[in-house]
Amino acid sequence: MVDLSRLSELIPAEPGTADWSIPTRIRVGLARAAEVTEACREAGIARPLVVSDAGLVASGTLAVVLEPLTETFGEVAVFDSVSADPDRRCVDAGVDAYRQAVCDGIVAVGGGSVLDAAKLISLSIGADRSIADLVGSAESVTEPFAPVIALPTTAGTGSEVGRAAVLSIPGESKTIIFHPRLMPASVICDPLLTVGLPRPLTVATGFDALSHALEAWCSPILHPAADAIAAESARLALTALPVAAYEPDHLGARQQMMVAALMGATAFQKGLGIMHALSHPIGAIHRTHHGLTNAVLMPFALEANRPAIGPKMDRLATWIGIEGGMDGILEVISVQRETLGVPDTLVELGVGSDGWDRLVDAAVVDPSAETNPIPVTSEFARRVLIAASGG
């Protein structure tokens, strides 16, 4: 006989309210980059602008995507000048390239910076306004955007399934531009596109994926579907990251990391937490790599949140198959950080204590702070900074 009174204790008494969205079409698998032409046709693209960066041209990765495109569409316009952390100048230049070649859609091939730049170009084209004029008002844009096909070449940000894009403001910080239609029309996750990624970037981006899964899992926002996705994303990332780093040609691990990354980004519809609230200003001010900064902050952020997340992390450990509950997960993260060459502290990352006030002030108002399981006060943010700096 089922004990209904015990079961009912496990269910919130009041039904919650939420908005959910998990709709992107995603092709996953080896050599599926060749299907980029079909993805274009489905999205109504006949004259694509290929958006990428110089590194992917030099490594030959871009050629894998350009070949089928030129075979089908003839000569294809390429904008390969996306820089790390793209700013308005970069986006405006992409818009010019799009207009000059009279394109009707975008094929984005690259990591988070390229995908974000492509999404912002598509928004700017749709709104017929410079991206600088859309900061703070993007959500009011009603015009259709230029469709984007996303082919990630890293496994980390998950920007390929996200409704937000990061725009850098030179000399200041970064701003996040959000619009429900910023999501690419479709995604191709082909692990062959990530095999050339150097180990430090594989590790840094991989930890970004893991940080999304963990922070989404710990976010108190109601979203059981995203919880399930976050938990499995964490399991996939913790299993595959060391293999992808040390056996870079292991295509199974490469693909598993790509899937973990897009699942992590899908899950963080629930929001993130103190890891991201601090890593955003640290990255903007100290120019540190976003994923690596999260990797450094990870154990200290989890530890600071322990009073609110202990039982939930125990449940995650059970799902992943790690013994020892939350302590077991922290132990696995600690071993992976050490094995994969993540600096122990922010000091080793080059972040001194001189600018802490600015970091604390920025972290408290960062949108990611809103969904941390413990309210992010100045005192809380400073405590994490002290711990992450070896104090």
- Judged by CB under 5 A, the chain residues 196 through 215 that form the site for Fe ion are 208
Nearer to Fe ion, 37 or 371 (CB): 371
Q: How far is the CB of 100 from Fe ion (least distance, A)?
A: 33
Nearer to Fe ion, 122 or 293 (CB): 293
Q: CB–CB of 340/203 below 8 Å?
A: yes
How many residues appear in the chain?
391
Nearer to Fe ion, 278 or 322 (CB): 278
Q: How far is the CB of 301 from Fe ion (least distance, A)?
A: 12
Q: Angle at Cα 356 formed by Cα 355 and Cα 358, nearest 5°?
A: 75
Q: How far is the CB of 268 from Fe ion (least distance, A)?
A: 8
Q: How far is the CB of 205 from Fe ion (least distance, A)?
A: 9
**Distance between CA atoms of 79 and 101, rounded to whole angstroms?**
10
At residue 130, φ and ψ (nearest 5 deg) are -65, 150
Take residue 208 and report the two structure tokens written for it. 């970004």
Nearer to Fe ion, 35 or 208 (CB): 208
- Judged by CB under 5 A, the chain residues 240 through 299 that form the site for Fe ion are none
**Distance between CA atoms of 40 and 72, rounded to whole angstroms?**
10
**Distance between CA atoms of 382 and 176, rounded to whole angstroms?**
23
Q: How far is the CB of 176 from Fe ion (least distance, A)?
A: 11
Which residue reads 């579907």 in tokens? 225
Size of the site for Fe ion (CB under 5 A): 1
Q: How far is the CB of 293 from Fe ion (least distance, A)?
A: 9
Give the 3-state secondary structure of residue 150. Answer: strand
**Distance between CA atoms of 212 and 232, rounded to whole angstroms?**
12
- Judged by CB under 5 A, the chain residues 85 through 144 that form the site for Fe ion are none
Nearer to Fe ion, 208 or 227 (CB): 208
Nearer to Fe ion, 147 or 264 (CB): 264
Residue of minimal CB distance from Fe ion? 208
Contacts of 231 (CB under 8 A, 6+ apart): 213, 217, 316, 319, 320
Contacts with Fe ion, 161-200, as mask; x by CB under 5 A: ----------------------------------------
Instruction: Point out which residues bind Fe ion (CB under 5 A).
Output: 208
